[in-house]
């Protein structure tokens, strides 16, 4: 299989050169896509698309200027529309696999726990242009008045060792995190460990992980009342099996009477009546404060997987929050630009491709400097990839910041403009009416 991202040579790199045109066009041939000999063949189109996103999702005309006006912005837009979605999906998969392979070769990478590859899953969102097709498919927030807000997509992201973004599923705004969680399991192999928030710790998801020989570690859902020991009240949907130690026990979860909406009727019918899981309660230090956490996991062997280690491992789930911040804030994915549903999916895939190229650069820099990949600055690696004039070894390494805590506040004030409360067309008419009245008074 050809490598989509070209390896770095002598510590030097170029932004466009990281995507191999020949490998991309070979993928197009494998997908049965045919094209004419034009100024924007698939390989060059995807390279230009990558440069556009890499530079902060600049306008189409900026791409044309960067290519010395070999084509117009409109021509580049049409070339992007012709590029098959399946081709970009395959390119994204191959680049992600390269990140995973590079992470496995780094002895300082913490992407494994006792031989198990550790993956993370979480949901997020992104703002979209107010185009009719996009608005109909993705929907808007219910608190927005018609014509006063923007459509929003729901994003489910799966990341793996090395911070690789393996899969990003975009769906309408009113989609739960669990709706497409099972689709991400295809990226895993038996024995892998999945970390997530409390939304993923229910009976249905735990059953699916067990049925595919996967493991999961999640905070217990806040609605679940947990009793400890054989004499506690465990309720009708839980039953005590065995104590494994101090606030560490094996229990069984009962199959619910109502089928989860995201689970098919066949899957629900074939599911066992009870599944065996492990519950843990521990105190941990978070940001200098001692807090109580309750976990549910499929790792039932308390000797191989001590409760203290699992509580510490659960803290690594926060890494996906940092990855989402890198994608949305540092790279600018908070607001997408495409005016069609398929265009939004392509734009998301291109963000994942460029994100993984940055991760490749970070892994290379970490290996050269002998540090853990998580300590390499994502923002500095992105800047190096954008401008391509620095050595890989010069990428900034962040200091150790254990138990770092920062207030979640915004310092910069917003401009003192009123918030849009009516559609733009009505506001224009109101302005015109005001001008007419003022003109009549002066007359």
**How confident is the model over 225-271, as pLDDT tens digits?**
888 998 888 888 899 999 999 999 999 999 999 999 999 999 999 99
The torsion angles phi and psi of 53, rounded to 5 degrees, stand at -70, -40
CA distance 377 to 383: 10
The confidence score (pLDDT) of residue 7 equals 47
Find out whether 256 and 223 touch, Cβ atoms under 8 Å. Answer: no
Find out whether 136 and 151 touch, Cβ atoms under 8 Å. Answer: no
Candidate from 293-302, 342-351, 356-365, 409-418 with smallest mean pLDDT: 409-418
| Mean pLDDT, rounded, for 156-179 | 94
Evaluate whether residue 426 is within a structural domain.
Answer: no
The confidence score (pLDDT) of residue 389 equals 54
Evaluate whether residue 4 is within a structural domain.
Answer: no
For the segment 406-433, what is each residue's pLDDT rounded down to a tens digit? 787 888 888 888 888 888 888 899 999 9
The torsion angles phi and psi of 283, rounded to 5 degrees, stand at -100, 135
- In this predicted structure, the answer to whether residue 181 has a pLDDT above a threshold of 70 is yes
The average confidence (pLDDT) of the chain is 88
CA distance 186 to 166: 10
Evaluate whether residue 183 is within a structural domain.
Answer: yes
Q: In which band, very low, low, confident or very high, does the pLDDT at 2 lie, cut at 50, 70 and 90?
A: very low
Evaluate whether residue 7 is within a structural domain.
Answer: no
Evaluate whether residue 132 is within a structural domain.
Answer: yes
Written as six digits, the tokens of 329 are 């804030």
* C-alpha separations of 157 from 135, 196, 301 in Å: 22, 11, 29
For 295, the domain range is: 16-394
| Mean pLDDT, rounded, for 4-32 | 64
Find out whether 430 and 438 touch, Cβ atoms under 8 Å. Answer: no
| Mean pLDDT, rounded, for 66-94 | 92
Cα angle at 12 between 368 and 51, to 5 degrees? Answer: 115
- Output 80 or 413, whichever has higher pLDDT: 80
Evaluate whether residue 432 is within a structural domain.
Answer: no
Evaluate whether residue 428 is within a structural domain.
Answer: no
For the segment 287-311, what is each residue's pLDDT rounded down to a tens digit? 667 888 999 999 999 999 999 999 9
- Output 389 or 155, whichever has higher pLDDT: 155
Q: In which band, very low, low, confident or very high, does the pLDDT at 179 lie, cut at 50, 70 and 90?
A: very high
Outline where 105-138 has alpha helix (H): 132-138
- In this predicted structure, the answer to whether residue 144 has a pLDDT above a threshold of 70 is yes
- In this predicted structure, the answer to whether residue 386 has a pLDDT above a threshold of 90 is no
The confidence score (pLDDT) of residue 12 equals 42
The torsion angles phi and psi of 126, rounded to 5 degrees, stand at -150, 145
pTM score of the predicted model: 0.90
Residue 380: how many other CB atoms lie within 10 Å: 19
How many domains are there within the chain?
Answer: 1
The confidence score (pLDDT) of residue 403 equals 66
Evaluate whether residue 438 is within a structural domain.
Answer: no
- Output 107 or 22, whichever has higher pLDDT: 22
Q: In which band, very low, low, confident or very high, does the pLDDT at 1 lie, cut at 50, 70 and 90?
A: very low
The confidence score (pLDDT) of residue 26 equals 87
């Amino acid at each position: 299989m050809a490598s989509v991202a070209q390896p770095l040579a002598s510590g030097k790199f170029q932004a466009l050169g990281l995507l191999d045109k020949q490998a991309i066009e070979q993928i197009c041939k494998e997908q049965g896509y045919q094209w004419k000999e034009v100024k924007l063949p698939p390989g060059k189109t995807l390279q230009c698309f990558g440069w556009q996103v890499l530079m902060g999702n600049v306008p189409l005309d900026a791409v044309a200027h960067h290519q010395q006006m070999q084509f117009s912005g409109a021509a580049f837009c049409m070339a992007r529309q012709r590029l098959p979605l399946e081709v970009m999906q395959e390119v994204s998969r191959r680049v992600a696999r390269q990140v995973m392979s590079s992470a496995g070769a780094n002895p300082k990478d913490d992407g494994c726990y006792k031989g198990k590859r550790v993956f993370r899953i979480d949901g997020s969102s992104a703002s979209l242009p107010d185009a009719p097709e996009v608005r109909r498919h993705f929907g808007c927030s219910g608190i927005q008045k018609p014509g006063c807000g923007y459509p929003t997509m729901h994003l489910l992201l799966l990341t793996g060792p090395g911070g690789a973004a393996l899969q990003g599923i975009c769906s309408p705004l009113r989609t739960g995190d669990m709706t497409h969680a099972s689709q991400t399991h295809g990226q895993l192999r038996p024995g892998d460990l999945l970390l997530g928030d409390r939304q993923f710790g229910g009976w249905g998801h735990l059953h699916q992980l067990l049925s595919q020989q996967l493991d999961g570690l999640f905070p217990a859902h806040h609605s679940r009342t947990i009793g400890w020991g054989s004499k506690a009240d465990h309720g009708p949907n839980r039953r005590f099996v065995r104590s494994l130690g101090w606030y560490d026990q094996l229990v069984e979860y009962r199959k619910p009477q109502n089928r989860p909406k995201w689970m098919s009727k066949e899957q629900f019918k074939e599911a066992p009546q009870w599944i065996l899981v492990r519950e843990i309660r521990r105190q941990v230090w978070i940001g200098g404060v001692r807090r109580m956490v309750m976990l549910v996991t499929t790792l039932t062997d308390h000797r191989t997987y001590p409760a203290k280690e699992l509580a510490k491992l659960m803290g690594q789930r926060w890494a996906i929050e940092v990855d989402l911040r890198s994608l949305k804030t540092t790279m600018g994915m908070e607001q997408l630009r495409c005016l069609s549903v398929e265009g939004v999916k392509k734009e998301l895939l291109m963000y994942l491709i460029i994100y993984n190229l940055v991760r490749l650069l970070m892994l290379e820099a970490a290996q050269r400097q002998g540090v853990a990949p998580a300590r390499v600055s994502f923002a500095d690696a992105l800047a190096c990839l954008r401008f391509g004039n620095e050595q890989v070894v010069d990428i900034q390494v962040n200091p150790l910041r254990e138990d770092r805590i920062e207030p979640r506040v915004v310092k910069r004030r917003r401009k003192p403009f009123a918030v849009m409360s009516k559609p733009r067309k009505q506001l224009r008419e109101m302005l015109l009416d005001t001008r007419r009245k003022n003109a009549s008074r002066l007359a």
